[in-house]
Amino acid sequence: MKILVVDDEADVESLFIQRFRKEIRNGDIEFDFALSGEAALSYLGDHRSEVILILSDINMPGMSGIELLSKIRTSYSAPPPMVMMVTAYGDEENRRQAIANGANDFLTKPLDFELLKDKLKNIS
């Protein structure tokens, strides 16, 4: 399963690699990372059919995760990747906007990696 993680915090990559070391080693999960919504769209342009899940932060400089989600939902119809939105803020407005724009799920920071792994089992 290929997952694209979109977050403007560079340390997110090492955190995911550390937390999913076994799954990566076994070949169950492959991660790619984008530091912005713009970079994510560029990546998707080159790897459209490979990405099964996008984990995107909501609050990023430039294009927000909500804007990215909206662009993904209007540009990628077959097959559309699943999108889980991630934010440090558990406020209802972000949650409402994410769901309204087609988010499949909503997670809050700090990420509960065991919960995320359980959710991933239901996708693969």
pLDDT digits over 55-91, tens only? Answer: 999 999 999 999 999 999 998 766 778 999 998 766 7
Bridge partner list, 51: 2
Residue 123's nearest CA partner among 21, 29, 14 is: 29
What are the structure tokens assigned to 27, written together? 């070949």
| Helices (H), ranges, 1-124 | 11-19, 21-25, 37-47, 65-75, 92-100, 113-121
24-60 confidence digits (pLDDT tens): 999 999 999 999 999 999 999 998 788 889 999 999 9
- Tokens 């359980």 locate to 118
CA distance 19 to 40: 22
Mean pLDDT taken over the chain: 91
